Amino acid sequence: MRTIVFDVNETLLDLRSMGPRFEEAFGSSELLGAWFSRLLRHSLVATVTDTYQPFDILAVDALELVAAKAGHRVTRTTASSVVDGMRHLPPHPDVRPGIELLIEHGFRVATLTNSPPRVLTDQLHNAGIDDLFSDALSVDPVRRFKPHPATYLSCADRLGIPIGRMRLVAAHDWDVTGAIRSGAVAASVARPGMLISGASETPDIVGSDLMAVVQAIVEVDRG
- Residue 79 pLDDT more than 90? yes
CA atoms within 13 A on the CB side of 11: 27
**pLDDT-based confidence at residue 12 (cuts at 50, 70, 90):** very high
**Mean pLDDT on 12-38:** 96
- Residue 1 pLDDT more than 70? no
Q: What are 149-166's pLDDT values in tens digits?
A: 999 999 999 999 999 999
How far is Cα 160 from Cα 22, in angstroms, rounded to an integer? 41
**pLDDT-based confidence at residue 223 (cuts at 50, 70, 90):** low
**Mean pLDDT on 67-89:** 96
How far is Cα 98 from Cα 61, in angstroms, rounded to an integer? 35
Render 74-137 in DSSP notation, one character per residue.
--HHHHHHHHGGGGGPPBPTTHHHHHHHHHHTT-EEEEEESS-HHHHHHHHHHTT-GGG-SEEE
* Measured CA angle at 101 (ends 100, 106), to 5 deg: 95
**Mean pLDDT on 33-59:** 97
Amino acid at 186: A
Mean pLDDT of the chain: 96
What burial class does residue 75 get, using C-beta atoms within 10 Å of its C-beta: 0-12 exposed, 13-18 middle, 19+ buried? exposed
- Residue 137 pLDDT more than 80? yes
Q: Distance of alpha carbon 186 from its chain centroid, rounded? A: 14
The pTM of the full predicted model, rounded to 2 decimals, is 0.95
Length of the chain: 223
- Give me the pLDDT at residue 196, please: 93
User: Which class would CATH give 16-87?
Assistant: mainly alpha
CATH number of 3-14+89-222: 3.40.50.1000
- Give me the pLDDT at residue 149, please: 98
Other Cβ atoms less than 10 A from the Cβ of 30: the count is: 13
Instruction: Please check whether residue 166 is in contact with residue 185, taking contact to mean a CB–CB distance below 8 angstroms.
Output: yes
Render 48-63 in DSSP notation, one character per residue.
HTT----HHHHHHHHH
Residues of the chain with CATH 3.40.50.1000: 3-14+89-222
- Give me the pLDDT at residue 221, please: 85
- Give me the pLDDT at residue 67, please: 97
Residues of the chain with CATH 1.10.150.240: 16-87
Percent of the chain beyond pLDDT 90?
A: 96
Q: What are 204-214's pLDDT values in tens digits?
A: 999 999 999 99
